[in-house]
Amino acid sequence: MVIFMSHGIIFNTALSKEKIPTDNLVINNPWYISGPSVETEDQINIYRVKNQSIKITTNNQPTKEIELHVMVTPSGSSDGPATDLSSNSYLEVTYQSTHVIKLQAREGNQNKTGCIHGGSHPRIKLSASPNRFITKRINWQDFRLNENPNGKILDQHNLCKFNFVNYQPQVGSIFILKSMIIVPQ
């Protein structure tokens, strides 16, 4: 065991097998949005870099759902390659929301060579938390098609993107995403 100190932080090399979280998708990956939000895609991405979080506000005419999404592996667009994640990894999300949000996990095509529009969208429900941030650990088997307990389970070995969806946005509803981390085990 080797212990050394750098900038007041003690590192123990004997802990090298300890699980280390991946990068925060909120900070490191570009985000895309569709639907009746006050913020544009450019504004969201400028805000997330500056404030290390994402904030979405429903506009004055919410006629359809708001969808905020991110690729697991950045590709320069809102579609791209699928990612193969470990069965033992999990997702950790820290958010605040005035309304219920559905978190969808979009799978890639059957050949596992890329993302397609449509396809399987296993999802979970993130409860409203208007007054405080919530951190939620989500296992891959928690994502089920249509949130049905017997629904198809997410194939995390063929994962393209995550979609945060407010299906019934109301004027002025707010969603703030502080972090989204895929944690390996």
Token pair listed for 62: 């919410």
The CA-atom distances, in angstroms, between 153 and each of 63, 92, 105, 140 are 31, 18, 10, 8
Domain range for 121 is 20-183
Transcribe 114-164 into DSSP letters: SB-SSS---EEEEPPEEEEEEEEEEEGGG-BGGG-TTSPBP-GGGEEEEEE
Position with higher pLDDT, 111 vs 94: 94
pLDDT tens digits, one per residue of 119-159: 678 999 999 999 999 999 999 999 999 888 899 999 999 89
Average pLDDT taken over every residue of the chain: 86
pTM recorded for the entire structure: 0.84
| Domain-embedded: residue 1 | no
Structural domains of the chain, count: 1
* CATH number of the domain encompassing residue 70: 2.60.120.430
| Domain-embedded: residue 11 | no
Confidence of residue 12 (pLDDT cuts 50, 70, 90): very low
| Domain-embedded: residue 172 | yes
| Domain-embedded: residue 28 | yes
CB 160 within 8 A of CB 107: yes
| Domain-embedded: residue 14 | no
| Domain-embedded: residue 165 | yes
| Domain-embedded: residue 7 | no
| Domain-embedded: residue 15 | no
